[in-house]
Amino acid sequence: MKINIKRIDHVQLCIPKGEDKIARLFYLEILGFKEINKPNNLKRNGGFWCQNGSVEIHIGVENEPQGKSKRHPAFEIQNLHSVRNYLEKKGVKIKEDPPIPGRIRFSIFDPFNNRIEFLEYNESP
């Protein structure tokens, strides 16, 4: 099965707890991103989301050891359910992600424990 990746939807980067002010200065003031609304059910995790043009960066908070990081690319794809079935048949472990309004999504891990998110919009982004 060919997985049709339409685009990179976002990249998640991580900062240490308590460093939001420095991160906002860098991403919003220096790089010119604008802060966008983060879904309410994810706000408890800390961090913020920002956008410049069609590029989104999700700034997450973590103090995790290597291999447990939230850092990841997220690929917008077509036929998410078919891709999920295909990956499950190939023995790829699926990680359920918290829901985000307007998107259906899940993550997988490559053989090196890198997280990869796949998502499909169920309404216009």
Per-residue pLDDT of 14-41, as tens digits, reads 888 888 999 999 889 887 889 999 999 9
Residues 64-103 pLDDT 10s: 765 577 889 999 999 999 999 999 998 888 999 999 999 9
Strands 115-121 and 72-77: parallel
Domain boundaries, the chain: 5-121
Task: Pick one of 3.40.50.300, 3.40.50.2300, 3.30.365.10, 3.10.180.10 as the CATH number of 5-121.
Answer: 3.10.180.10
Residue 96's contacts (CB-CB under 8 Å, 6 or more residues apart) are: 106
Identity of the residue numbered 114: N
Residue 99's contacts (CB-CB under 8 Å, 6 or more residues apart) are: 41
Sole residue written with tokens 């906002």: 24
Distances from the Cα of 74 to the Cα of 20, 21, 22, 115, 123, angstroms: 22, 25, 24, 9, 17
